[in-house]
Amino acid sequence: MTDMQAYSPSPPASSVPDDNTVLSRQARVWRGLRNFVRRNPLSAFWGVVATAILIMAIVAPLIAPHDPLKANFRRMSKPPDAQNYFGTDQIGRDNLSRVIYGSRSSLVVAIAAVLLGTTTGSLWGLASGYIGGRFDIFSQRVIEVLQSFPDLILAMAISMALGTGTWTVIVAIAITRIPFGGRVVRAVALSLKEIAYVEAARGIGASTLRIMALHILPQCVASYLILATTHLGVAIVIESALGFLGVGIPPPTPTWGNLLADSLNSGLIPPWWLVFFPGLAITITVLAFNLFGDGIRDTLDPRLRGTR
Amino acid sequence: MYEYILRRLGFGLMTMLGVSIIVFVLMRVLPGDPLVAIFGMEGFTKLTAEDRAHYMAELGLSDPLVVQYLKWMGDVVTGELGRSFFRDESVADMIVRRGPLSVEIGVLSVVISWLLGLPVGIISALRPNTVADTGARIMSILFLAVPGFWLGILIVLALLFQFGYKAPLTGVPLWVDPWANLQIVIGPALVLGVGQAAYIARMARSSLLEVIREDYVRTARAKGVIERLVVNRHALPNALLPVITLSGVLMGIVLGGSIPIEQAFGVPGLGRAMITAVIERDVMVMQNLVFLYSFVFVLVNVLVDVTYAWFDPRIHYQ
């Protein structure tokens, strides 16, 4: 049980209620949130920013002032003013609306890729760590090979092989995330393998699959959540780089990377507002997810606190 | 030690074998006929079956996959590397012509990252929770989030407005005109270097903070060694080990990140060649360039491991 304590957050002594009343589920969630905010005010703030960006992506049609795809030839290449707060591009599309809509594709790709890649990698790592033997050795070699590609180059090669499209980009980024899940969760599974309660389960004749699903998996959730949140930022950057290089989601769909690519193709000198705002959106979003992720890691894995 | 180096090299070789298989498979499952990519849909339909067979044979694409793979591996060993589908240039020539610029950018960026990240990390660790420390941490968190290529375009724009700077159309080798060459390389190297420096500063800070609490450092202080020597002679060498390893891992950012950054600055390096290859679906070029970049990545990490073992004898005595 000592190992379990390392993975579950234990509230500081002052906030533990002295009477051992059983709190309702809702009350526990609220207390957890309150503790998180008190201990990581900075991460909590950036968590709010991240949530706001997510909401912005979901309700994009409601808050975007213009149609992101509609050209307006009377207002071409206009710098930011009262009509178009972020200016317009070379065929008069509203830059602000395009940045807002861009958050949709960028976030969908990043979130889907991280979920797909981290889940695949984690399950793989779990199996290879627990089963061990030849399967483990083989898996380790494959993961090593996958890690020998620079992320962006592997993603470029995969998206070239699979053709263009949203799913291609998602799969391409997801594959670059597999090794991380594989490594981290494998280590957790290895350490749990010899713990008494797992041995007990083996002793009473539980099947390998059952032990992995019911006894090992729950202990890997903390590592999984940490991985997923810390890799969201990386995924957003890779997506924007792919879009910038013209191998991401094909235009005219606005993604932040595509907007930056477009800005370079709009005349000899790219207008500063077409360059500045999409990049700013990427920076703020990555910053928000990174710092929120730091807070989540500190909460779920107190051993790592202060190491970064 | 020699045994350790040999073992590490052997591992590296095995990894490269795996890398080559993955690259080859990826480049052969491409949807569509490579001839369509070369001649366009219209041109492709005009070709007779004989022509098609002839071109496929000329490109070396009509052999069985295993033969193609073995041929490619032979090419890699002899340094032949095949030809571009679209340009009258062998891939080896392309690497020789465009490679130096990319290598310069990469090496310079690593140097910059150490020169910038290390002092910041050390100051942060020696004076934790002061203004300098907070400032350094904010900077490193910020630069982890800023996409390098965006910073690159902004710098180019600023230079354009200030000095009328224009993106270079052709590369100038270092030995022909060092000054013109430096003007091309310094921007991308700086942007790449600052991005890595953020990671290095973070790692140096946490690593030095840990080492400085160790008993032997306290012993050194207790016997009256002056603080500068305690840090430089006793704490730093041990604290730097993780930073060396990190620098090897960061090579992935140097290699991958240099591609959009070369694009942003308009540097005619290898990264640009790779972008062109992806867009034109030039299989031979892409295959070899991906292999080359991964090779450099693996090689650097083998070197890092050997350096590490050299500094820390515990490693190779295991």
Is B275 within 8 Å of B265 (Cβ atoms)?
Answer: no
Higher pLDDT, B65 or B12: B12
Confidence (pLDDT) at B110: 92
Dist CA B3 CA B6 (whole Å): 5
Of A87-96, A127-136, B95-104, B131-140, the least confident: A87-96
Q: Is the pLDDT of residue B62 over 80?
A: no
Instruction: Provide the 8-state DSSP code for A222.
Output: H
Q: Which of A142, A275, A286 sits opposite B145 (nearest CB)?
A: A286
Given CA atoms B78, B79, B83, B88 in this order, what sign does their dihedral have?
Answer: negative
Cβ–Cβ < 8 Å for A245, B273: no
For residue B281, what pLDDT is reported?
79
Handedness of CA B281, B287, B288, B293 (dihedral sign): positive
Q: Mapping DSSP to helix (H, G, I), strand (E, B) and coil, where does residue B32 land?
A: coil
For Cα atoms A232, B241, B146, give the angle at the middle one, nearest 5 degrees.
30
- Rounded average pLDDT over A65-81: 73
Q: pLDDT at position A113, please?
A: 93
Tell whether the model's pLDDT for residue B112 goes beyond 90: yes
Helical segments of B146-282, H only: 148-163, 178-211, 215-222, 227-229, 236-265, 270-280
Q: For residue A160, give the nearest of B225, B30, B261 by alpha carbon.
A: B30
Q: How many CA atoms lie within 13 A of B105 on its CB side?
A: 31
- B 160-219 residues with CB < 8 A to A: 160, 202, 206
B84 touches B77 (CB < 8 A) = no
**pLDDT tens, residue by residue, A259-269:** 888 888 766 67
d(C-alpha B175, C-alpha B154), whole Å: 29
CB A166 within 8 A of CB A106: no
Whether residues B145 and A233 touch (CB distance < 8 A) is answered with yes
A149–B294 CB contact, under 8 Å: yes
Nearest-angstrom CA–CA distance, B275 and A152? 12
What is the tens place of the pLDDT at every residue in B249-307? 888 888 988 999 988 888 888 888 888 888 887 888 888 889 899 999 999 988 888 88
Do residues B65 and B28 make contact, with C-beta atoms less than 8 angstroms apart?
yes
Cβ–Cβ under 8 Å, residues B96 and B182: no
The answer to whether A298 and A9 have CB atoms below 8 angstroms apart is: no
On whether any CB of chain A is under 8 Å from the CB of B18, the answer is yes
Average pLDDT, chain A: 81
Residues in B closer than 8 angstroms to A272, CB to CB, are 157
Nearest to B147 among A240, A246, A264 (CB): A240
- Nearest by CB to A150, from B157, B255, B275: name it: B255
Distance CA B268, CA A174 (A): 30
Residue B40's H or E segment, with its range, is: helix B34-46
**CB < 8 Å from A in window 80-109 of B:** none
Beta bridge partners of A88: A94
> Does the CB of A232 have a partner CB in chain B at under 8 Å?
no
* pTM (two decimals): 0.84
Residue of B150, B156, B207, B296 to mutate for A, most A C-beta atoms under 10 A:
B150
Helix, strand or coil, per DSSP, at residue B72:
helix
Alpha-carbon distance A288 to A299, whole Å?
A: 17
Contact indicator for B252, B83 with CB cutoff of 8 Å? no
Give yes or no for A144 touching B (CB within 8 A).
Answer: yes
Q: What is the pLDDT of residues B24-56, one digit of tens each?
A: 888 877 666 666 666 666 666 666 777 777 777
Domain boundaries, chain B: 2-78, 99-315
Distance from CA of A165 to the nearest CA of B (A): 13
Phi, psi of B90 (to 5 degrees): -75, 155
Using alpha carbons, select from B218, B246, B250 the residue that is nearest to residue B234: B218
pLDDT tier at B241 (50, 70, 90 boundaries)? Answer: confident
For B58, the token pair is 């000329």
For tokens 């295993």, name the residue: B66
Residue B166, pLDDT > 50, answer yes
* Predicted pLDDT of residue A250: 82
Distance from CA of A181 to the nearest CA of B (A): 17
Report yes or no: B116 and B197 within 8 Å, Cβ to Cβ: yes
Do residue B22 and residue A160 have CB atoms under 8 angstroms apart?
no
Distance CA B27, CA B35 (A): 14
CATH class of B99-315: mainly alpha
The beta-carbon neighbor of B153 closest among A157, A275, A287 is: A275
| Cα distance from N-terminal residue to C-terminal residue, chain B | 11
pLDDT of residue B34: 66
